[in-house]
Amino acid sequence: MSDDKDEKKPFSPERITFENRYVTVVGEINDKLAKATSERLLALAAVSDDPITMFISSPGGHVESGDMVHDLIRFIKPEVRVIGSGWVASAGALIFIGAKKENRFCLPNTRFLLHQPSGGIGGKASDIAIQAEQLEIMKARFERIFAEATGQTPEKIAEDTRRDFWLNTDEALAYGLLGKVVSSASDLG
């Protein structure tokens, strides 16, 4: 009879990422992704206060789903390091800046996209007015959050994000969006 300690556990990407305290955010930001990401962050925080590493590659998506993950990164006790790869756009960038600047990393070929929130407005005139007002409130909040995260002014964020605002890694560093470009895990320190 073999002892459980002697038995080799089968390879499982889920087990490996959990044991290494990794979280991946890949694809469109929506309520399902936010739920899965939040549950993983909370589970890892319950296990230990050791740092968590989150990898992000996202075109963005639903702002409030991004808010949920952004706020949870700040809420839990363990430090969360974020590593952008591919592209970090819109609500994906909102999640990215949930981490402290010194914990915001990206791989060399990452691109960032910031822009003002948008939404599909429709319905009665009174409903359209309410939705437009809510977009303005969201826009002002977005400008404040990104200003605090980058060191830019809300006015500068507003000016830059009137249209799609793309940044490569050097531009993201200069803008204050990014803490460091890394090429390998050993660069994390």
Tell me the catalytic residues: 90, 115
Joined tokens for residue 127: 């409903």
Angle, vertex CA 15, rays to CA 79 and CA 5, nearest 5: 115
Burial class of residue 7 in the structure, from the number of CB atoms within 10 Å of its CB (0-12 exposed, 13-18 middle, 19+ buried): exposed
Please list the residues that pair with 2 across neighbouring strands. none
Closest by CA to 28, choosing from 54, 55, 58, 57, is 58
